[in-house]
Chain A
Amino acid sequence: MRTAAMALTSEDALLLAQARTGDRRAFEELVRRHARAAARLAARLLESREDAEDVVQEAFTNAYLALTSFREHASFRTWVLHITFNLALDQLRKRARRERAIGKERPEGAGFPCPAAGPAQRASAREDVERLRRALDDLPPRQKAALLLKVYEGLSYAEVAAVLGTTRAAARVYVSLARQSLRRRFERLPGGEP
């Protein structure tokens, strides 16, 4: 696992070097490698497939325009996730202002569709997943992002910290707070424990 991760990072470094010389194919490959993770993060934060895709495209575009300033203190993946996270937060702030102004309700049903799930599978998983989604969506964005990055993306605490722009200790606390809050919120929702 470690070897695979290191290989991935070294391939990224190679692609990054090529992209810096103007090789657009190399950058396209970087997009293909990391867009999915960025989209998952944005979709969970923004609860909208369209907005998430827009944010991911903007994040990669910004990354491309700032390639020369990327100092490689973190991996390319972490850097792109960091940009995505910040753009998603901006989007959330704008949306909050807009929704407050027009009194709009939060949309139900977030993110990308799940093509693999059949009707029976959906029915059995729906209740738990729906309750988890509701509990998750009530979390503050940073906690939500920290938990998602740690659990779903499998990042280390150091990487989570790099994405959120905070310290490793704070990232650990965010994940911990998210788990504790999630449990409290989850248990309060109809249906009790999972």
Chain B
Amino acid sequence: MNAVAERGYLLVRSDGVLWGVSNGDVRRLTRQGLRYHLEVGGIALGVDEVVGVVPELVVWPVSSALRRFWPEKAGGLAVHAEAPLVIIDPRRLPRALCIEGIEGEIADGEGRH
């Protein structure tokens, strides 16, 4: 599959967690056996399921209370079909989704590799 349309969000699930990534940030989406690989920010992410595409989401910032107990960086939080989801920040990809072996290449918060 090629990059998805520019507008909206691609919703994916991995280990039971729902994630959203802006369509414009997805460079490639491929099937890899039972899983899917996304290329976001030059890094491959592995997910269990592609849930679908939604035209828009209301995105809330990550609260300081959540940041205190969750070290991952995220682009925000949203709700889809009564389920909370995490918006992926393409500059600070979630380690939980990064495919093994490339984790060391993840950029730091400033985009440096």
Partners in one complex: no
